[in-house]
Amino acid sequence: MRIFSTATELQQELAHLRADGATIGFVPTMGYLHEGHKSLLLEARNQNDIVVLSIFVNPLQFGANEDLDRYPRDEKRDMLVALETEVDFVFMPDVSDMYPESPLVTVKVQSGVDVLCGSSRPGHFDGVATVLTKLFTIIMPTRTYFGEKDAQQLAIVAGLIRDFNFPIELIPVPTRREADGLAMSSRNVYLHEDERKVAPKLQEALQIGRGMIVAGERDVETIRQAVSHFINTHTHGKIDYVDLLAYPSLERIHRVEGQVILALAVYFQQARLIDNVIMDQHGHQSTVLR
């Protein structure tokens, strides 16, 4: 495993490998790797000759009152995960390397950002799209891997790849969960003991909503209210949103038709947790990006 801190050195190394016909799998992260990240890296390892992991806490996707400085970091642990999953190259640039000056050009996402997490994080997905455009250009991977837990991000990345004609295959990877159903997240470390006990109720709430669809319910507001009521009854978390949208277009709908996403975000004392379920109109879980 080799570690690169500058884009130029990594580009030169990958250019030689690409010229020899090697396939490159890329997993972009902000570090503090957990089992969810491992699943992305293992999938990349299974499908490619070379695996590239990037670790970069991107300041452009954090708002003025968000947790950039508090974002958990553990470089030693990250390196152990990279070794365990047989990563070939780790790209760990400094902010000064990625953004040596105030950017002249950034990427602005035009749709799908006024719902779910984007509604309370203006500019967040512009920052995500900008850094991914840079990383895709630096690495030029054959395939890139994203988790379904960040489903809004996944949909926006699919649009970025399509609209900018990146010759990259996007591979969605199912959400990794703890034994009790809680979606794995770097922010779970901030849950207090009593919050950690009830946090799995978020996935349970989503499955109640999915069950309503399986049973034939099609009215979006009825499903939203049932999921919200369950969360309010079984946790002390504060709901940021519970929403049911078309997917991956992220358009608002009144009735369940085609592929949809039922998603939520809930604030606990020191952590904001997200989760979702993507399914067809009959409640069968699936992810189709088109």
Residue ranges of the binding site: 30-37, 61, 147-150, 153, 184-187
Q: Are strands 272-279 and 260-267 parallel, antiparallel or unpaired?
A: antiparallel
Q: Binding site residues for ATP, as ranges?
A: 30-37, 147-150, 184-187
Q: Binding site residues for beta-alanine, as ranges?
A: 61
Q: In what side-by-side order are the strands of the sheet with 89-91?
A: 2-4, 89-91, 50-55, 24-29, 143-147, 169-173
- Runs of H (alpha helix) within 56-179: 75-84, 95-98, 116-120, 124-139, 151-163
How long a stretch of residues is the chain?
A: 290
37 a catalytic residue: yes
Q: Binding site residues for (R)-pantoate, as ranges?
A: 61, 153
Catalytic residue among 37, 124, 192, 236: 37
Farthest-apart Cα atoms in the chain, separation: 58
Distance CA(12)–CA(145), nearest Å, equals 22
Q: Which residues are catalytic?
A: 37
